[in-house]
Amino acid sequence: MKYELVIFDCDGTLLDSERLTNRIIAEMLTEIGIPTTTQKSYELFAGKKFADIVAHIQDKSEAYDADFELEFRKRSKIVFQNELSTVEGIPELLSQIQIPMCIASNGPQEKMVVSLNAANIKSYFPDNNVFSAYDIKIWKPAPDLFLYAAEKMKTPPSNCIIIEDTISGVMGGINAGIDVLAYNPHNDAAMLETPAKNFTSIKSLMKYILPFVC
């Protein structure tokens, strides 16, 4: 079948931001007395909402400060502007898709604006094609964000396809009844066990999806 809309996750799918984000989280957790590596941060928080980080801190320590998220956003903005790039192959994929595209992310709008501009792909995603879980206060793996994005883009869920890189995103798409492709470069076992087709590179994913979106 031909799809009518591609829904992308942002961090880790379009943007090579998960390693940067989790490096910052690990540094900040270590600073407040919760020693954490970048890899451990990724295992704990990839695809999660910021409230999950807060809950982790509160479970491990009494050191949580309400300014923690503000400081995280400030550091992230600086790091993203200096170091952020797209996931390899994403510019080529975006340039060849011939149907509407949008983003559905657990991250806040302001973070995506900074990130997409820093990676030079904002032109593919006008503001009204970028949807955040913060807009509706419901986060993946609940299906609501994907259904909200499809509704706003005036496309039936059955005619959409989602590209995701975390188990919470993949399950959110499956829970929404939408076809999902998993970008899974590290062969995450949880994603391999889902019905989603898994790909270890955007290049291989591109070969699969282009006949359905051109």
Please tell me the distance from the alpha carbon of residue 156 to that of residue 166, in angstroms, as a whole number: 23
Give the other-Cβ count within 10 Å of 101's Cβ: 19
Query: What are the tokens at 155?
Result: 């496309």
Q: Which residues of 191-210 are buried (b: 16+ CB within 10 A; e: fewer)?
A: beebebebbeebeebbeebe
Those residues with Cβ within 8 angstroms of residue 155's Cβ, 6 or more apart along the chain or in another chain: 4, 5, 100
> Which one from 9, 165, 179, 188 is the annotated catalytic residue?
9
Cis peptide bond upstream of 141, omega within 30:
yes
9 is catalytic: yes
Distances (CA, A) of 136 to 19, 67, 104: 27, 23, 11
The set of catalytic residues is 9
